[in-house]
Amino acid sequence: MAAYPQEYRYSKEHEWVKVSGNKARIGITDYAQQELGDVVFVDLPSVGDTITAGQPFAVVESVKSVSDVYAPVSGEIVAVNDHLSDSPELINQSPHDEGWICEVEMSNPAEVDELMTADEYQASVKSEAE
């Protein structure tokens, strides 16, 4: 199992958040990409969209299923990883880095505190797999 970066925060719906200042980069976790299998399409949000914590904002499609991606934090989207349009496999190859989905300007940075730490997430994933 890939290491979960210590500086990220994680949601129970298997998204990660990398915070820098008021901005948060969002993607799905290694566990999520393994569960999905080979990703074949990502329905990306657009820059300027507003997303709300707990609500779906993107769709990841694999050979076996189509899954919503839930916003771990609220805010306005300021950047989108356009590479995913042509290379959705980045999510499988590099879920925590090159497979990032979007970046938001957070409207309520306190939401980050409610997310799990890497250790907490790892423990929750382990219990889910059992």
Partner 1 sequence: MSSTNQGADGAYPLLFERSVPGRRGVLPPATTVPVAWNPERLPASLRRARAPLLPELSELDVVRHYSGLSQRNWGVDLGFYPLGSCTMKYNPKVNEAIAALPGWQRLHPYQPEQTVQGALQILFELERDLCALTGMAQATLQPSAGAQAELLGLLLIRAHHQHHDPAHAARRRQIIVPDSAHGTNPASAAAAGYEVVQVRSNDRGLVDVKHLKELVGPQTAGLMLTNPNTLGLFEEDIETIAEIIHAAGGLLYYDGANLNAIVGIVRPADMGFDIVHLNLHKTFSTPHGGGGPGAGVIAVTPPLAPFLPGPRVEYDAAKNQYHWRAAGPWTVGRLREFYGNFGVLLRAWAYIRSLGAEGLREVARTAVLNANYCRAKLQDCLEVPYADRPCKHEFVASAREVHRRTGLHAQDLAKGLLDRGFHAPTVAFPLIVEEALMCEPTETESLQTLDAFVDALQQVVHLAYTQPDELRTAPHRAPVGRLDEVLANRHLKLRWLPDPPATGPTAEGPTP
What is the contact mask toward partner 1 in residues 88 to 107, using x (rule: CB under 8 A)? xx------------------
Write down the least CB distance from residue 8 to partner 1, Å. 26
Please give the span between the terminal C-alpha atoms of the chain, in angstroms, as a whole number: 15
Write down the least CB distance from residue 119 to partner 1, Å. 24
Cα separation, 99 vs 67, in Å, equals 16
Where does this chain touch partner 1 (CB under 8 A) — which range of 5-13, 57-65, 70-78, 109-117? 57-65
Interface with partner 1 (CB under 8 A), residue from 22, 38, 114, 126: 38
Confirm or reject binding of residue 83 to partner 1 (CB under 8 A).
no
| Residue ranges binding partner 1 (CB under 8 A) | 37-38, 40-41, 61, 63-65, 88-89
